[in-house]
Structure 1
């Protein structure tokens, strides 16, 4: 199992943050299926202020490229992503259209 950590910001508005969290208490079943179908075994999202931190543990079949291709061809995932973009904002160092950004591990005990 491999672990990836990613970061993204939310729009810094308490009302929008509350709505975003409400959606994540009841994620659409099609979205959950798309995540597990891609080889994600564990996914957790944490929040501090408007900063999000995602932990993904994936199996040996997972690749970001394959997940991206699957998502691009899944209308329900595209609907979810478009809806979530109302609440999300790119990190300052993100390229155009880039959302969740992969973090580098700098320490392990």
Structure 2
């Protein structure tokens, strides 16, 4: 049984930066340590969609996933921290984000 989480984050409104960000996330370009850390946390599928400078991430997780555990794993992983710092060159907080909050959980308001 999987569970789905959806998040949003903005990129800086700069065509060159958006193109670079997309290149980092093109198939095969994400650092292998990053994809390993994602899978090790119980995330079985992750997709990011972009419109303008707004991104939406959809995560499918298995029963082993725990958001707090994932945050601690990320904080303790120097490669993940390097990646996150690099990505902050491209990303910006949503206007309603808490200080330092990057990806904001989306509220599901409809299901067919």
TM-score (norm 1): 0.99
The count of aligned residue pairs is 109
Q: Say which SS state the counterpart of residue 45 (structure 2) adopts.
A: strand
- Runs of 4+ in structure 1 deviating by more than 2 angstroms, as ranges, are none
1:57 to 60, 81, 102: 60
Query: Mind listing any 5+ residue stretches in structure 1 that lack a counterpart?
Result: none
Query: Mind listing any 5+ residue stretches in structure 2 that lack a counterpart?
Result: none
Query: Partners in 1 of 2:70 and 2:84 — Cα distance?
Result: 13
Q: Say which SS state the counterpart of residue 47 (structure 1) adopts.
A: strand
Which residue matches 1:11? 12
Query: Partners in 2 of 1:16 and 1:35 — Cα distance?
Result: 24
2:72 to 69, 79, 101: 69
What are the within-5 Å matches in structure 2 for residues 1-109 of structure 1? 1-25=2-26, 26-109=29-112
Query: Partners in 2 of 1:79 and 1:24 — Cα distance?
Result: 15
Displacement of 1:63? 1.2
Query: Partners in 2 of 1:107 and 1:33 — Cα distance?
Result: 32
Query: Partners in 2 of 1:39 and 1:71 — Cα distance?
Result: 13
Q: Say which SS state the counterpart of residue 94 (structure 2) adopts.
A: coil
